[in-house]
Structure 1
Amino acid sequence: MVDLKMSESIHVAVAPDELYALVSDVTRMGQWSPICKACWWDEGDGPRVGAWFTGRNETPERTWETRSQVVAAEPARIFAWEVNDGWVHWAYSFEPDGDGTRLTESWEFLPKGIAGFHERYGAEAEAQIEQRSEAARTGIPATLAAIKKAAEA
C-alpha cells in the first residue's frame, strides 16, 4: 500500500512571521518545488482563507494545472490549501525553534482524491496515485531545502 500522508521538517534561521510571509506567497513556489513550476492568485487575491490560486506542474511526462483553495492562513502558525476541491491537502506549519523556525511541510492524498483518481484513470489509478505519492516523498525535502536556502540568503 502506498503512503497517502507524509511530512518532513527543517530548521530555518528566520523568525516564524518572516518565514510565513515568504512561504504564503504562492507565486514563489515555482522557485522551490521540483514539480510545481508556477502559481498565481486569482485576480486581487492573496494568502487568506477562501482565496483561490492556480498552479502549473511539470514532469518529464506531462504538464498540467491545478486549482487550489486556501483552507488555513494563520500568520506565523500555518498556511494550507486543498487541491481540486478536496483531492489533496498541502500545509506548511511554523513553530519557533531557537534562533529560527521549525518549518514542516505536509501532504495528504484525501479520500475524495482517491475516488477522483479512480474515476479519472480507471485501471491506472493506483499507479497514478503511487506516482503522486513518490513525487511528494522526494519533493517535500527538496522544497524545504530550497525554501531554507532562499529564506536564509
Structure 2
Amino acid sequence: MATDYEKEGVTTFLVRSQIFVAASPETVYETVSDLSRSGEWSPECQGGTWVRGEPSTVGAVFEGRNVRGTEPVPWAPVIRGEWTTKAEVVEAVPGKVFRWVILTEAGARQESTWSFEIEPAEGGSLLIHHYRLGRLTEGLAKIFRAGLDEAGRDRFVKEWNAKLAADVQRTVERVKAVVEQG
C-alpha cells in the first residue's frame, strides 16, 4: 500500500541555501558542474565517475560514491556506510544552472532533484543549492512501507529534512571555499 509520501504532487523534502562567492558565474559553474569533484564539498558524495555521455551535459549520467555514518538521524533505517547512486543531468546552462536527478536501479528518473543555480552579483556570484524530493525514491518507499508507521514516517521526514538543510548549507560553504581558494 502506498504512503502519503508516494502520491502524485507531494513534496517530501525541500531545502535551499545560498551564499555569495567572490568569483564569476562561469567560474562557479565550471566547479559545481563537475560532479566528479563533489567529494570536495558534499557531506555524503565522495565523488564518482561519468558513466555515459559527455560529462556535465544534459543526458550525461554520473555514478556517485557516497558514504554516511551513524550520526545523521541515528534511529532512521537508512543506508549507512558506502553506496552508489546514478544521476542524470537534466539541465546545464553554463554560468546559470546545473541540475540533475537521481535514477532508479532500472535507470528511470525519480523525483529526487538537485541543483546549483548561479546569479551574477556585484563582485562575484550568488550560488544557490537546492534539493527537492517529490514522491519517495524507490529505496525510501521500501523503508516507509516496511519499517515505519505513520508517526515514524512523519518524524523521519521532519528530521531528515533538517539534516538535508544542514548538508546543503555545508555544501555551499565548502564550494565557496574551494572556488575562492582557486
- In the superposition, the TM-score normalised over structure 2's length comes to 0.75
Report the equivalent of 1:18.
27
1:144 aligns with 2:172: yes
Report the CA distance shift for 1:72/1:8 in structure 2 as closer, same or farther (over 3 A). Answer: same
Report the equivalent of 1:93.
117
String of CA shifts for 1:85-123, please: whole Å, max 9, x gaps. 22410000000010100000000012252x652235523
1:117 aligns with 2:136: no
Q: 1:1-80, aligned counterparts within 5 Å?
A: 4-42=13-51, 45-60=54-69, 61-80=80-99
Looking at CA atoms only, which structure, 1 or 2, has the larger radius of gyration? 2
| Percent identity for Structure 1 against Structure 2 | 27
Report the CA distance shift for 1:86/1:76 in structure 2 as closer, same or farther (over 3 A). Answer: same
Report the equivalent of 1:133.
161
Question: What amino acid is aligned across from residue 114 of structure 2 in structure 1?
Answer: W
Mapped to 2, the partners of 1:131 and 1:63 lie a distance apart of 21
RMSD: 2.3
Mapped to 2, the partners of 1:76 and 1:86 lie a distance apart of 26
Mapped to 2, the partners of 1:112 and 1:59 lie a distance apart of 19
- In the superposition, the TM-score normalised over structure 1's length comes to 0.88
Mapped to 1, the partners of 2:41 and 2:19 lie a distance apart of 14
Report the CA distance shift for 1:145/1:21 in structure 2 as closer, same or farther (over 3 A). Answer: same
Task: Report the alpha carbon displacement of residue 4 of structure 1 after superposing the two structures with TM.
Answer: 1.1
Mapped to 2, the partners of 1:59 and 1:128 lie a distance apart of 16
Task: Report the alpha carbon displacement of residue 134 of structure 1 after superposing the two structures with TM.
Answer: 3.6
Report the CA distance shift for 1:59/1:72 in structure 2 as closer, same or farther (over 3 A). Answer: same
Report the CA distance shift for 1:30/1:47 in structure 2 as closer, same or farther (over 3 A). Answer: same
3-state SS of 1:47 partner? coil
More helix by share: 1
